[in-house]
Amino acid sequence: MSKKSIGSWVQSANVSNCDFPIENLPFGSFIKHHNPHTSPCMGVAIGEQILNLTELQLTPSLSHGLMSPEVEALLLLFKTKNLNAYMGKPAKDHQLFRRFLIQSLMADSPLQALLSPHLVDQHDVTMLLPCTIQDYSDFYASIHHATTVGAMFRPDQPLMPNYKWIPIGYHGRASSIVPSGTPIRRPSGQTKGSGDQPPYFQPCRRLDYELELGVFIGSGNAMGSVIPMAESKEHFFGLCLLNDWSARDIQGWEYQPLGPFLAKNFASTLSPWILTQEALEPFARPFTRVETDPQPLDYLSDTVVLAKGAYDIHLETWIQTQGMKEQNLAPVKLMSSNFHESMYWSLFQLITHHASNGCNLNPGDLLGTGTMSGPQKDQAGCLLELTEGGKKPLQLPNGETRTFLENGDTIILKAFCERDGYTRIGFGECRGTITA
């Protein structure tokens, strides 16, 4: 049984299985519908509402003994309308500000009257990217995904020799990261011709989604310095959902010898809310590896960090086709899995490895986990796996089939954390619809 929430004066946060109870309080950026020409505002989700932190820092009565000077200084960071300055603060400051938010939003809080005018209904805003993302790198951290896809192309050697020794990744394109709800235009690209025929240029015919988590960097490191594993949690701000759309036919022709390029950089969709490390901590669990596998090199090992190096996160992918929309049919679930069962490398190892050569990470930088696939076939995080490369079409309840995505298809990623003794928290949705 999940623990009963501590409760909030925001009543929608007290509903059973709410994604955003007071124990969550994820950060996001938004514009109000009634005044779309104003600058973005920063806020935290609470139930079906958003506490507008950008407006709240303008409330003079809050500074009259109702908050500490340290909290007041942190609240002032939200006047910049950019979460990055707050993300770059030390973890102890994030913990301090979270305590202030929880105490302010708890049932019977003396600040209810002051804070309630700064609540905004989530239905009355357009969500934006939660922060400025200067750099984006994508990893390949699920061994189940890597093994299954590798077997399609290299049956005799699904995993390359380096996979169990080094976190594999590549640098993506930050400029094409878009918030949930943004339409995804089907890309065109060069594709291999049949036999000895030359390649041709056409719209992608094997368009796919990828269920991933996005890892946000908090405080960064100077160029030339490193982030030791023992300090990696100090640089981890939080998580969101990430759909790294993929053009499989373009990818198959271009990826040798340098890896992903135009097949991956046309669009990546983010869920709008960043769940912080503090909110995720109750769902941390030991990160372990099969004893017969090579153990990580010393720079990727730290027993204290790895003792809570994984998270219990339930992942789901849903689809609603254009035909289903026309028939007023609800989306259907394609798969479900768990984050900790999917990852071969801890997200803290990803952070440390990324900076191990002196690469400077900055507040708001995004690391993708790579496609999250569980150990079972029906836990695959993309259509390439679920349909075995398009050989076994998925049968949908309304009679349609899918090998890859068609125009009008909407993909919805969902995730939540649930454990006995703790209040359930959710990620919200990461949604995108394919257009011609």
More reliable by pLDDT, 169 or 39: 169
DSSP string, 378-404: GG-SSHHHHTTTTTSPEEPTTS-EESS
Q: Which two tokens stand for residue 431?
A: 């949604």
Chain segment 118-169, per-residue pLDDT in tens: 999 999 999 999 999 999 999 999 999 999 999 988 888 899 999 999 999 9
Give this prediction's pTM. Answer: 0.96
Band of pLDDT at residue 36, cut at 50, 70 and 90: low
Q: What is the pLDDT of residue 212?
A: 98
Residue 296 has pLDDT above 80, yes or no: yes
Q: What is the pLDDT of residue 37?
A: 66
User: Cα(246)–Cα(254) distance, rounded to whole angstroms?
Assistant: 13
Residue 256 has pLDDT above 50, yes or no: yes
Catalytic residue positions?
145
Positive or negative, the CA dihedral 372, 378, 384, 389 is: positive
Chain segment 222-254, per-residue pLDDT in tens: 999 999 999 999 999 999 999 999 999 999 999
Cβ-count burial of 102 within 10 angstroms (0-12 exposed, 13-18 middle, 19+ buried)?
middle
Residue 16 has pLDDT above 80, yes or no: yes
Chain segment 349-400, per-residue pLDDT in tens: 999 999 999 999 999 999 999 999 999 999 999 999 999 999 999 999 999 9
Band of pLDDT at residue 39, cut at 50, 70 and 90: confident
User: Cα(2)–Cα(283) distance, rounded to whole angstroms?
Assistant: 12
Chain segment 396-421, per-residue pLDDT in tens: 999 999 999 999 999 999 999 999 99
Residue 2 has pLDDT above 80, yes or no: no
Which residue is associated with the tokens 């679930």? 333
Residue 29 has pLDDT above 70, yes or no: yes
Which residue is associated with the tokens 């390439």? 384
Band of pLDDT at residue 309, cut at 50, 70 and 90: very high
User: Cα(5)–Cα(15) distance, rounded to whole angstroms?
Assistant: 9
Distance of alpha carbon 301 from the chain centroid: 24
> Between vectors from CA 262 to CA 261 and to CA 265, what angle results, nearest 5°?
85
Q: What percent of the chain has pLDDT over 90?
A: 89
Set out the domains of the chain in order of their start, with CATH numbers.
11-127 (2.30.30.230), 136-310+337-375 (3.90.850.10)
User: Cα(25)–Cα(420) distance, rounded to whole angstroms?
Assistant: 20
Q: What is the pLDDT of residue 34?
A: 72
* CA dihedral of 152, 153, 155, 157, whole degrees rounded to 10: -130
Q: What is the pLDDT of residue 38?
A: 77
Give, as one character, the DSSP assignment of residue 34: T
Q: What share of the chain is helix, strand, coil (3-state, %, to 5)?
A: 30, 25, 45
State residue 189 phi and psi, 5-degree precision. Answer: -175, 180
Average pLDDT over residues 253-264: 92
Residue 1 has pLDDT above 50, yes or no: no
Going by C-alpha positions, the residue among 206, 177, 199, 184 that lies closest to residue 254 is 199
